[in-house]
Amino acid sequence: MSKVHKCKDLNIFVYVEDTDFQGIVYHANYLKYFERARSSCLKDLEISQTEQIEEGKVFIVKTINIEFVKPAKIEDNLVVCSKIEYFSNARLFFHQQIKRNESDDIICRGEVEVCFYDQNKDKPIAFPENLLKVFKNE
């Protein structure tokens, strides 16, 4: 059975720059919100993407599936909820959803498959030990 780690929620305020001319969040911005939440989760786990990049190692998105449920609007307060599912030493799934904070309405859901990649060797490799430790100790 795979192990799951719950990340801290990320709060997002919807600014006018996030929306189209009708005040509805532009669909591509949900991907940005998901990315911010994944980056925040790694930071909370004390994994520095900057240090990894300097070593030629990067987190890469392999696949994304997203379901749009309701539109978010200008001045909404949103919350991005994320869980990491351990699949293998080189593959994780982030199960994410964005909800409207005031009503708990689900705005969208996504599943993001993430791999760890060595740019110097041009191939996938195992995740950093401090990330694997989260799953091996739970």
C-alpha to C-alpha distances, 130 to 74, 88, 134, 135, nearest whole angstrom: 38, 14, 7, 9
Phi-psi region of 63 (alpha: psi -120 to 50; beta: other; left: phi over 0): beta
Query: Residue 111 is inside which H or E element, if any?
Result: strand 106-118
Which residues are the active-site residues?
A: 20
